Amino acid sequence: MSTIYIASDHGGFNLKTFLVQHLKSKGHDVHDLGPSDPSSCDYPLKAQAVTEALLKNEDAFGILVCGTGIGMSMAANRVPGIRAAVCTNEFHASYARAHNNANIICLGERVSGQGIAADMVDIFLSTAFEGGRHLRRINLFDK
């Protein structure tokens, strides 16, 4: 099973809470980095918490949830070594890992229901990076 760091802002709180329980029920080591309630909060700070944790444990994965997933991905992708992908369907989740070696999946509570979000996370966590030509391209990200 995987180690997962997860956080949201207020717009993604309900989906984050659902995903924490879903992932724990599958035996994953889940670290909920907040928030603990749906009060208004700043998504860049939540993205920072997950990216910092992920950079200390490169074998782990991150999940960030906001209203659309876009703000979280923009904040996370400012950090070298982070490859955060907004996903809205299973194909996105699969290819984010297989071709882009994404280490964070970003989801939108206002975009995806709980069922599709759980499916995307499961696919994201179980899909291996293909390497090869994709690795060469990913190595260009941080240059």
Each residue's pLDDT tens digit, 20-61: 999 999 999 999 999 999 999 999 999 999 999 999 998 999
Cis peptide before 35 (omega within 30 of 0): yes
Q: What is the pLDDT of residue 57?
A: 97
pLDDT at 132: 87
Catalytic residues: 99
For 9-37, the DSSP string reads -GGGHHHHHHHHHHHHHTT-EEEE-S-SS
Tokens 């984050």 sit on residue:
16
Taking the complete model, does pTM exceed 0.85, yes or no?
A: yes
> For the CA atoms of 72, 73, 76, 77, what is the dihedral angle to 10 degrees?
-160
Nearest CA-CA partner of 10 in 83, 72, 67: 67
Listed as ranges, residues in the chain with pLDDT below 50 are: none
